[in-house]
């Protein structure tokens, strides 16, 4: 989902208003929680660039409601101290040629709790526009979400965000 309206996008400063972006994610999760069926599922957040910082900030506020986070070419540094409060499994996917952003992600990664992982896509730039790069991001994200966004056990009630392993 887009976190800014068309008019808001016209003001470039809004792209870096992490509080505003995080508030929009909080509103989206609260909206989902009005549906009893949706409220039973852990939520996964996928953010790119500044949207990744917003996802981390929202996850810090929502705590156990968020089941997993994937950051693609993210700017986790813009989440500030919220990084220290994130308890959701977090994956950073970074382009191998995204110099500067790699280091920002490594610094944030060191502050995250487990489980966490970094995947570097060789030869990819910040936008992952190189042939096959975005497909690698998709594969990494899909595996991460499949691993950590498990369905809640039947009859678990409304304890939103509770993760349960499902035996098959």
The alpha helices in the chain, defined as continuous H runs, are: 6-9, 18-33, 36-39, 50-62, 101-111, 133-148
Query: In 3-state terms, what secondary structure has residue 18?
Result: helix
Q: Does 47 reside within a domain?
A: yes
Distance CA(49)–CA(69), nearest Å, equals 13
Q: How many domains does the chain have?
A: 1
Q: Does 167 reside within a domain?
A: no
Q: Does 120 reside within a domain?
A: yes
Q: Does 76 reside within a domain?
A: yes
pLDDT tens for each residue of the chain, 168 residues long: 899 999 999 999 999 999 999 999 999 999 999 999 888 899 999 999 999 999 999 999 999 899 999 999 999 999 999 999 999 999 999 999 999 999 999 999 999 999 999 999 999 999 999 999 999 999 999 999 999 997 654 444 434 443 433 222
pLDDT, tens digit (0-9, with 9 covering 90-100), for 41-85: 999 999 999 999 999 999 999 998 999 999 999 999 999 999 999
Tell me the pLDDT of the chain averaged across its residues. Answer: 90
Q: Which two tokens stand for residue 110?
A: 């060191």
pTM, two decimal places: 0.87
Domain span at residue 129? 8-148
Q: Does 158 reside within a domain?
A: no
Our CA dihedral for 140, 143, 145, 149, rounded to 10 degrees, sits at -160
Q: Does 100 reside within a domain?
A: yes
Q: Does 26 reside within a domain?
A: yes
The domain that holds 62 is classified in CATH as 3.40.50.1820
Q: Does 156 reside within a domain?
A: no
């Amino acid at each position: 989902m887009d976190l800014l309206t068309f008019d808001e996008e016209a003001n470039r400063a809004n792209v870096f208003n992490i509080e505003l972006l995080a508030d929009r994610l909080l509103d989206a999760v609260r909206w989902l929680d009005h549906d009893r069926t949706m409220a039973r599922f852990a939520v996964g957040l996928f953010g790119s660039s500044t949207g990744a910082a917003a996802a981390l900030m929202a996850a810090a506020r929502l705590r156990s409601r968020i089941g997993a986070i994937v950051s693609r070419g993210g700017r986790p540094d813009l989440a500030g101290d919220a990084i220290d409060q994130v308890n959701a499994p977090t994956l950073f996917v970074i382009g191998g040629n995204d110099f500067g952003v790699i280091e920002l992600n490594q610094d944030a990664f060191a502050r995250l709790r487990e489980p966490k992982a970094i995947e570097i896509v060789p030869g990819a730039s910040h936008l992952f526009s190189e042939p096959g790069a975005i497909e690698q991001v998709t594969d990494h994200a899909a595996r991460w979400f499949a691993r950590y966004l498990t369905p809640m056990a039947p009859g678990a009630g409304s304890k939103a965000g509770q993760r349960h392993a499902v035996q098959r």
